[in-house]
Amino acid sequence: MKDLMFPVGISNFSEIRTKGYYYIDKTNLIAEILDGGIPKVNLITRPRRFGKSLGMSTLANFLDITKDSKQMFEGLAISQNTELCKKWMNQCPVVFFSFKDTDGLTFESAYGMLCMKLAFAFQDYQFLLDDDAISDDDKGIFKRILGRTASMDETKSCFLLLTRMLEIHFKKSAVVILDEYDVPIAKASSNGYYSQMLDVMRAMMSTTLKDNTSLDFAVVTGCLKIAKESIFTGTNNFVSDTILSPRLSESFGFTQADVDQMLKDAGLESQSAEIKTKLSFTGDINDLKDCDIIVESVLERLDVKQDFWVKAEAVVSPDCILATNTSGLSINKIFANCKDKTRACGMHWFNPPHIVPLIEVINNDETKQEIADTVYQLSLKIGKKPIYVKKDALGFIGNRIQAAILREAVYIVEQGIGDYKDVDGAMKYGLGFRYACLGPCEVVDQGGLDVHHHIATYLWEDLSDAKYPSGEFEAIYQAGNYGVKTGKGFYDYSGDKADKAIEARDAMYLAMAKCNPTGVGEEHGYEN
């Protein structure tokens, strides 16, 4: 097998092309959108992990008048279409914005997150403030969006403002590309502020897409096909392209030809036939009828999961195991409407699932042990390291431990015992080094219960017992600083620091996975 560098979790086209990542040529998307009659608004809906964000990044890099993309697209299919490249490549002012991670437990926090993301996006357009042809009033609104002091009405009209300013500056109407438009609405529906967020998103879409004389055309993507009447009301020349539409069928996801090419490039052609027999794709729930086990990973919303399982249970055999992949929702509630809960359980994969070996097998109140045992053994057979969660509990096991560590980490900083870098250093180079091989109970066994019991008698009472996030943690959160996604959290991720942090994380995870410390102890006859 050849050592190819796959861009796992990377949706930035420029990064993939400039850093030598393996890339399946999907530039046909550009021609499909630009050739012929271009609808004013093109809504593209596809499931998660179908390459929508990468496709939009590809389109934005191709069109953006502020870039020189010729080398980036060299050797790709679109470069052979010289006429289209001459007409469109780097010829358009582009507004490219992703609503990914625009969420919160309350409307206030979600709206604050939206304003934060808009502020970061507007930083790329600050050159417009130097254009004397743009009015001071428009510049004033721009600055308020940049400084997160804009009114809600100004926020709702932010893309209308930006397209107008771009048209004045470049003397060309703008292309608007909005990725994952449905994320704020879906999150709002889950957390009880749907009507408030719908009002914001409906106004934002309307001001941007309807009767905007500075708009050339727009491409909008999402997972959910929300009714046109609810959010795209009044939008003319509107085309919706779903997963069932043939026009862009080869532009997202992997075709058979794509898979064959990947196998060839990876030196795995000889295994092609075997691999093909293990994969099939469908959109018909009735195709699940012969399954021995179903592992569901639909949208992390209770109502969506409940609906799926009611439909799935109606078509599968009585012996089929029902397993839900959720990181936080109650297993009891997910299967509440199912007739046979004894064959249902949780199967929680940890992110990134292709690297982290842990799987939590979670019982609901009626799960038969033989069902949990079967899922446990299946996890082992696919190279994972499963654990049992014997009853449905908030956070299961992994996230409860993680929450306890975070609570004490923040408390240490607040008490002046150390700063965040000191806390993370203690974890990475001390505790984390141990815990990569041994769990906390094993560490105590090896260090001596007598020693640790003595420590517990005077230390436990000095530890944080906070029942709700407070202090500096709460202050950082309320300020809208959510970490890598916003460019600031406990640490600074401004500029390209966020991309570098994610890249470094994945590299370290992969290195750890290759070391496989979880299997080394077994070679010495030790297993817990």
- The pLDDT tens digits of the residues spanning 119-140 come to 999 999 999 999 999 999 999 9
CA–CA dist 241, 409 (Å, integer): 47
Residue 334 CA: distances (Å) to CA of 314, 389, 395: 16, 16, 15
Residue 356 burial class via C-beta count within 10 angstroms: exposed 0-12, middle 13-18, buried 19 and up: middle
User: Do 306 and 256 have their domain in common?
Assistant: no
Q: What CATH number did the domain enclosing 472 receive?
A: 1.10.1040.10
Residue 433 covered by a domain: yes
Average pLDDT over residues 70-76: 93
Query: Which residue is it, tokens 């994972």?
Result: 384
Residue 55 burial class via C-beta count within 10 angstroms: exposed 0-12, middle 13-18, buried 19 and up: buried
User: Do 392 and 294 have their domain in common?
Assistant: yes
Q: What would the DSSP string read from start to end of 476-516?
A: HHHTT--BTTTTBSSSB-TTTHHHHHHHHHHHHHHHHHHH-
User: Do 431 and 513 have their domain in common?
Assistant: yes
Average pLDDT over residues 101-108: 86
With 60 as the cut, is the pLDDT of residue 56 above it?
yes
With 50 as the cut, is the pLDDT of residue 298 above it?
yes
User: Do 383 and 458 have their domain in common?
Assistant: no
Number of Cβ atoms within 10 Å of the Cβ of 113 = 21
Query: Which residue is it, tokens 């055309």?
Result: 217
Domain-ending residue, one of 365, 396, 427? 396
Please give the residue that has the higher pLDDT: either 20 or 68: 68
User: Do 5 and 35 have their domain in common?
Assistant: yes
Local confidence band at 187 (pLDDT 50, 70, 90 cut-offs): confident
pLDDT for residue 525 = 57
Both tokens assigned to 319: 């012996």
Both tokens assigned to 260: 């064959």
Identity of the highest mean pLDDT range in 9-13, 28-32, 500-504: 28-32
pLDDT for residue 95 = 97
Of 505, 501, 469, 470, residue with least CA distance to 485: 501
Residue 402 covered by a domain: no
Average pLDDT over residues 65-86: 93
Domain-ending residue, one of 396, 424, 441? 396
User: Do 283 and 343 have their domain in common?
Assistant: yes
User: Do 386 and 284 have their domain in common?
Assistant: yes
**Per-residue pLDDT reduced to its tens digit, 157-168:** 999 999 999 999
With 50 as the cut, is the pLDDT of residue 40 above it?
yes
User: Do 243 and 283 have their domain in common?
Assistant: no
Residue 64 DSSP code = B
Please give the residue that has the higher pLDDT: either 234 or 454: 454
**Per-residue pLDDT reduced to its tens digit, 445-504:** 888 888 888 988 999 999 999 888 878 888 888 888 888 878 888 888 888 788 888 878
pLDDT for residue 84 = 93
Average pLDDT over residues 335-346: 97
Mean pLDDT, the chain, integer: 87
How many domains does the chain contain in total? Answer: 3
Local confidence band at 228 (pLDDT 50, 70, 90 cut-offs): very low
Residue 316 covered by a domain: yes
Q: What CATH number did the domain enclosing 334 receive?
A: 3.40.50.720
Query: Which residue is it, tokens 């001001």?
Result: 207
CA–CA dist 74, 184 (Å, integer): 36
User: Do 12 and 74 have their domain in common?
Assistant: yes
pLDDT for residue 224 = 66
With 60 as the cut, is the pLDDT of residue 1 above it?
no
User: Do 454 and 373 have their domain in common?
Assistant: no
User: Do 15 and 36 have their domain in common?
Assistant: yes
With 90 as the cut, is the pLDDT of residue 363 above it?
yes
Query: Which residue is it, tokens 């420029």?
Result: 14
pLDDT for residue 69 = 92
Peptide bond into 352 cis (omega under 30): yes
pLDDT for residue 261 = 82
pLDDT for residue 517 = 58
* Residue 405: partners with Cβ closer than 8 Å, 6 or more residues away: 427
pLDDT for residue 522 = 60
Tell me the percentage of the chain whose pLDDT exceeds 90: 51
Q: Are 355 and 513 in contact (CB under 8 A)?
A: yes
Residue 109 covered by a domain: no
Domain hosting residue 343, numbered range: 279-396
- H or E segment and range at residue 146: helix 136-146
With 90 as the cut, is the pLDDT of residue 207 above it?
yes
With 50 as the cut, is the pLDDT of residue 229 above it?
no
Local confidence band at 528 (pLDDT 50, 70, 90 cut-offs): low
pLDDT for residue 526 = 54
CA–CA dist 239, 225 (Å, integer): 12
Residue 342 covered by a domain: yes
Query: Which residue is it, tokens 């209308």?
Result: 160
Residue 283 covered by a domain: yes
Domain-ending residue, one of 361, 396, 431? 396
pLDDT for residue 226 = 56
pLDDT for residue 271 = 76
Residue 140 covered by a domain: no
Residue 92 DSSP code = B
Report the SS3 class of residue 132: coil
Query: Which residue is it, tokens 């997910």?
Result: 334
Measured in degrees and rounded to the nearest 5, phi and psi for residue 220 equal -125, 135
| Helix axes 471-478 and 398-414, enclosed angle (nearest 10) | 100
User: Do 300 and 257 have their domain in common?
Assistant: no
Both tokens assigned to 25: 């040529």
Residue 172 covered by a domain: no
